[in-house]
Structure 1
Amino acid sequence: MVSGSGDAGVDRVVDVIVVGSGAAGMSAALTAATHGLATVIIEKSSYWGGSSSRSGGGVWIPGNSVLREQAPGDDLEDARRYLKSIVGPHVDPARIDTYLDRGSEALQFLMDNAPLRLEWVRDYSDYYPEAPGGLATGRTCEPLPFDGRRLGADLDTMHPPYSDSAPPNVVAKQSEYRWLSLGLRSWRGPAAMARMGARAVAAFLTRKRLRVFGAALMGELMLGIREAGVPVELDTALTELITENGRVIGVRIERDGQSAVWHARHGVVLACGGFEHNAEMRRKYQREPIGSDWTTGAPTNTGDGIAAALKLGAAVSFMDDAWWGPTIPLPEGPWFALAERSLPRSIIVNERGERFMNESLPYVEAVHRMYGGEHGQGDGPGENVPAWLIFDKKYRNRYMFATVPGRGPLPKAWFDSGVMVRAKSIDELATRIGVPTEHLTATVERFNGFAETGVDSDFQRGESVYDHYYGDITNKPNPSLGPIVKGPFYAVQMVPGDLGTKGGIDTDTAGRALRADGSVIAGLYAAGNTSAPVMGHTYAGPGATIGPALVFGYLAALDITEHARTTATAI
């Protein structure tokens, strides 16, 4: 079903054109096709799956059938209080209500029409579990391991992960990753390794090609797309939206140097990601220091859909924000740091050698602190960029670091590049990374005092349940705190990376694109990172990017279906 061949110069007519093959695009396409509409997905990349296939694959949709069966603590009204409390006044409450009220319906539709199998990630808490309605046990689901052989030749064109160093079939679920990072500190680490080993052996014996995380999610959705008869046209770029009498009626595409106009009778859905790899747009909308080298988003996400909609007068919001995360700019590519900054015996300091945040904060909030500013939304001058993750020998011996097991040799290239520095003493480390020696020494001494008492009086690290998820449960008195005392000492550069940009086209509750005056651009829809986020400046929990992408892709397709029905009735 995936192709990139044929005569691109020949015009084409379908009911629905979906631009982008990530979670939002596949949700929209599967929904439209299942309702009888002739649908095509166009994808700029030579791969399908977009950033979704490179992601952790989590899905944050409160009240869904999996949670109702497996997570009795989930409650839809609590989720409503929670989401509105953390998002605040920055998003239309009607969009939040629609997301929550229709989310379970959307996910169930996708599970009914694709072999999508999910399970609750037990105890992966909401990112703000202490907020009103927050849930410490979590509302996140993840896909079960998926046999990529079911995709046939299409497996070869699935977007590869942004980092993949594991042997074939040695895969970890989200629920296992936290224990792997602890190495041998808890029996759960070896238990997770044993499960992974058994899974790998079974896969080898049965000739499976296991995929997890976003690859599993997108593989399952692709099987639904194929069953629904939706072609996925690779290497096919959107260059322009075509209008007639104020309505979007199609797209101009380019492939193999040829241009053509493809017509959509009922609607065009823009689901082609953000603009994280467009350096010009990042400079225009975001603040320095910024770059396209620190993102883990799909390389072809250059804001094409947003730019095309802007030419039609579309309104955009949150363009200055992103799905941020403290990131290590390794020579082989950026590493989005989850567990590394939350484990005991580590701190993050700025160029003044001082801590400036709770290192275990949810990743969006952590980068907001890196940029600084008065409003807590990262609107400052980048006063804490770059930063350095500092840790000691005991940390290195105990915990996995960017896929390297505890005590395992760290790549020489990391040190040669200057991203990682090692020294015999804190004084020497300060000199080597260019921070004031007296400041770093005082910072470490003060933090070590907090580690002894178990209370971080400066930034409250370890007080939130979320802080402990990637902490060390065997570490007392606080799983998130531990003294930095044993040399050699290490420093690793941290920059404001991201999973993708957050800003995009303003939409209504049906996913319809809006102008600045609130009027609808007829025939045009947006979902996923091409649209403005229902999460606002925040991030509700693991999977709070993919969840809205699936839901609003589904709702956009339903609105298109209704347009098709009323048009046919009128005729």
Structure 2
Amino acid sequence: MDWEYTTDVTVVGSGAGGMVSALYADDNGLDSIILEKTDTYGGSSALSGGGLWIPVNHHMKAQGVPDSVEKARVYLQNTVGDRTPQEKQDAYIERAREMAKWVEDNTRVEFARMDGYSDYYPERPGGMAQGRGLEAEPMDGRNLGDARHGINEPEQGVPGPLSFTSGEFRDIGLVMTTLRGKITAMTVGLRSVLNLVRGADSLTMGGALIGRLRWSLQDRGVPLWLNSPFESFVVEDGRVVGVVADTDRDGRVNIRAKHGVILAAGGFAHNEELREEYQESPITTDWTVANEGNTGDTIVAGMEELDAAVDLMDDAWWGPVSLPPGGEPMFHVAERNEPGAIMVNGQGDRFTNEAASYVDVGHAMYEHHTEDNPHIPAHFVMDQRFRNKYVFETLMPRQSFPSEYVESGYVTKASTLSELATKIGVPAERLVDTVEQFNEYARRGEDPEYHRGDSAYDRYYGDPSHEPNPCLGTIEEAPFFAVEFWPGDLGTKGGLVTDERSRVLREDGSWIEGLYATGNNSASVMGHTYPGPGSTLGPTTTFGYIAVKDILETASEPSERSDRQVA
């Protein structure tokens, strides 16, 4: 084999998991390179809320929030269960806090605790209503220099001067109903004005995490190549010794990885063929909000070239999305928790706790969907009072729906519930009965059917000023509105099977020597569930870190940094 480039570690994918892998390798004397197939870096990590679910983390300890390894283990046993190996769950719990502390101590990342952002099942044994999440502090994108223009950003991103954390975003949504919402809005507004005056370019949430990690890569001179898609593995005597990449700088090149290849390239959310093969119908790539580069290239190569095992290919990080005219899918989180709106199926019935974890709501849509009673799409029904009080999509309270929303059919508007039902094609009498029953629940402050508002997670995005239940409010003020909700996703959850050391395994359980994987191109440690905010970014960064630890422990030859051939 003729090698155009030689590294100690080759990382495929530039999301948070890939970046942490490369940084930890570099700090331990290993040369690394990151290959990114698209013309932007950060992948789905950059598009995300930026949270990392990290049990027993150092910020919890500093703030006196009680947690323990055993408590976290019990919680995963009561959420993930035996769907993933106990050894892998234990590795995550043990190493996640270590990884987070190392990242904050050795890179430009500054974490803050996501105070009060509950675990998604806090009432289960080991669950915590106080939350275990961390997020990166906002940063000024000007620190990245020319690299600022390469970061992956959502189509409907936060305007440049604005700067807020996930908690502040939640509070701003309650600006019409709570004092805290008003104070937060003023605080964020003042900060945004100062940013504008200073010419600051604020990166927040997932953009802040990726921006800070990219800044750290620049400090160390770790190369990140854009427009350089992975093509195939190079294998010698059963060991992965490198990869072939199609780069925009040198064309097709062979890159040697002396100690290992780490795959962090995302899932297959945008691969229609794989989704149709492995996932339940109806399914399409049109509903995902994942990075468009997530086409499962490394998963397919692992299966076809190396006989790698795969798991959880039928699942995804589901959640309800709507499809605004002319735009990308809109992922809905907070709207479902706030009082004064419900989700109904094709018969006009509620079918789940609307305020539950978005993954649970997505699962419910598929589990109940039939030809006779479609749940895909479901309809999100709200009244004018809801619109007067709460944010919907990107629209602030009291902000009218744009005319094109109504004209295109994205939003259906009617003066009565019966008229609304007729327009959206559900039985009018049934929808009226459903709303009347829900209104009675709202007045009593309890939902005996689906227990909406019982969980601390439900209430996190609820309205604390609304009594007797912050998640239940009547639907009775005309006009009435409905929007179709589809089972979208943040990315797919299945991929290459890895062990507690991030090593990729064959169908017979043996390790494919030299190959590691993390993130959505590997089968998630979280199984079919979503234990808390940051259950994607927490594992991808942790198992990327673990992969490098294994490489350091098993490397057969020392790195010779003077031989660096990648610039």
TM range (shorter): over 0.9
Query: After the TM superposition, which residues 130-169 of structure 1 pair with which residues of structure 2 at under 5 Å, given as runs?
Result: 130-164=123-157, 166-169=158-161
User: Is 2:348 aligned against 1:353?
Assistant: yes
* Corresponding residue to 2:205 among 199, 202, 213: 213
Give the structure 1 partner of residue 239 of structure 2: 247
Q: 1:343 to 1:232 in 2, by over 3 A?
A: same
Q: Residues 176 and 192 of structure 1 are in contact (CA less than 8 Å); yes or no, is this contact kept in structure 2?
A: yes
* Corresponding residue to 2:251 among 218, 240, 258: 258
Counterpart Cα distance in 1 of 2:294 and 2:416? 43
Give the structure 2 partner of residue 235 of structure 1: 227
User: Is 2:428 aligned against 1:433?
Assistant: no
Pairwise CA distance, 1:439: 1.1
Pairwise CA distance, 1:380: 11
Query: After the TM superposition, which residues 341-380 of structure 1 pair with which residues of structure 2 at under 5 Å, given as runs?
Result: 341-372=336-367
Query: After the TM superposition, which residues 527-546 of structure 1 pair with which residues of structure 2 at under 5 Å, given as runs?
Result: 527-546=518-537
Give the structure 2 partner of residue 6 of structure 1: none
For structure 2, the 5+ residue unaligned runs are 561-567
User: Is 2:309 aligned against 1:318?
Assistant: no
Give the structure 2 partner of residue 329 of structure 1: 323
Q: Deviations over 1:450-478 (max 9, x none)?
A: 01111111111111111111111111111
Give the structure 2 partner of residue 115 of structure 1: 108
* Corresponding residue to 1:225 among 198, 217, 227: 217
Q: Deviations over 1:33-77 (max 9, x none)?
A: 111111100000100111001100001111121221125133332
Counterpart of 1:200 in 2: which secondary structure? Answer: helix
Counterpart Cα distance in 2 of 1:411 and 1:524? 50
Q: Deviations over 1:11-42 (max 9, x none)?
A: 21111110000011011111111111111000
Counterpart of 2:292 in 1: which secondary structure? Answer: coil
Pairwise CA distance, 1:379: 12
Pairwise CA distance, 1:561: 2.1
Counterpart Cα distance in 2 of 1:91 and 1:141? 24
Q: Deviations over 1:220-274 (max 9, x none)?
A: 1112212222100000001111101100011111134932221111111110000
Q: Please give the root-mean-square deviation of Cα atoms over the aligned residues, in Å.
A: 1.8
Counterpart Cα distance in 2 of 1:63 and 1:382? 44
Q: Residues 29 and 559 of structure 2 are in contact (CA less than 8 Å); yes or no, is this contact kept in structure 1?
A: no
Pairwise CA distance, 1:172: 2.1
User: Is 2:293 aligned against 1:300?
Assistant: yes
Give the structure 1 partner of residue 382 of structure 2: 391
Counterpart of 2:454 in 1: which secondary structure? Answer: coil
Give the structure 1 partner of residue 565 of structure 2: none
Counterpart Cα distance in 2 of 1:568 and 1:443? 67
1:196 alignment partner AA? V
Q: 1:527 to 1:379 in 2, by over 3 A?
A: farther
Pairwise CA distance, 1:171: 2.4
Give the structure 2 partner of residue 498 of structure 1: 489
Counterpart Cα distance in 2 of 1:181 and 1:439? 31
1:258 alignment partner AA? G
User: Is 2:28 aligned against 1:35?
Assistant: yes
With 215-224 and 71-80 compared, the bigger mean Cα shift is at 71-80
Counterpart Cα distance in 1 of 2:495 and 2:16? 16
Counterpart Cα distance in 1 of 2:35 and 2:64? 37
Counterpart of 2:266 in 1: which secondary structure? Answer: coil
Counterpart Cα distance in 2 of 1:329 and 1:205? 35
2:509 alignment partner AA? G
Counterpart Cα distance in 2 of 1:520 and 1:253? 23
Counterpart Cα distance in 1 of 2:373 and 2:301? 30
Counterpart Cα distance in 1 of 2:75 and 2:286? 34
Q: Deviations over 1:125-156 (max 9, x none)?
A: 00000010100111111111111111111110
* Corresponding residue to 1:60 among 53, 56, 70: 53
Q: Residues 372 and 382 of structure 1 are in contact (CA less than 8 Å); yes or no, is this contact kept in structure 2?
A: no
Counterpart Cα distance in 2 of 1:382 and 1:269? 45
Counterpart Cα distance in 2 of 1:406 and 1:358? 24
Pairwise CA distance, 1:383: 4.4
Q: 1:567 to 1:517 in 2, by over 3 A?
A: farther
Counterpart Cα distance in 1 of 2:63 and 2:190? 24
Q: Residues 31 and 559 of structure 2 are in contact (CA less than 8 Å); yes or no, is this contact kept in structure 1?
A: no
Q: Residues 371 and 382 of structure 1 are in contact (CA less than 8 Å); yes or no, is this contact kept in structure 2?
A: no
- TM, length-normalised to structure 1: 0.95
Query: After the TM superposition, which residues 472-551 of structure 1 pair with which residues of structure 2 at under 5 Å, given as runs?
Result: 472-551=463-542
Pairwise CA distance, 1:371: 0.5
Q: Deviations over 1:343-367 (max 9, x none)?
A: 1110000111110000001010111
Give the structure 2 partner of residue 5 of structure 1: none
Pairwise CA distance, 1:567: 6.7
Q: Deviations over 1:78-120 (max 9, x none)?
A: 1111111100110000000110011111111212221111111
Give the structure 1 partner of residue 563 of structure 2: none
Give the % identical residues.
Answer: 44
Counterpart Cα distance in 1 of 2:556 and 2:6? 18
Counterpart Cα distance in 2 of 1:62 and 1:382? 41
Q: 1:277 to 1:379 in 2, by over 3 A?
A: farther
User: Is 2:11 aligned against 1:18?
Assistant: yes
2:338 alignment partner AA? L
Q: Residues 3 and 256 of structure 2 are in contact (CA less than 8 Å); yes or no, is this contact kept in structure 1?
A: no
Counterpart of 1:15 in 2: which secondary structure? Answer: strand
Q: Residues 277 and 300 of structure 1 are in contact (CA less than 8 Å); yes or no, is this contact kept in structure 2?
A: yes
With 316-325 and 559-568 compared, the bigger mean Cα shift is at 559-568
Pairwise CA distance, 1:382: 9.2
Counterpart of 1:340 in 2: which secondary structure? Answer: helix
Q: Residues 30 and 559 of structure 2 are in contact (CA less than 8 Å); yes or no, is this contact kept in structure 1?
A: no
With 102-111 and 526-535 compared, the bigger mean Cα shift is at 102-111
Counterpart Cα distance in 2 of 1:385 and 1:491? 14
Give the structure 2 partner of residue 177 of structure 1: 169
Counterpart Cα distance in 2 of 1:469 and 1:113? 32
Q: 1:135 to 1:351 in 2, by over 3 A?
A: same
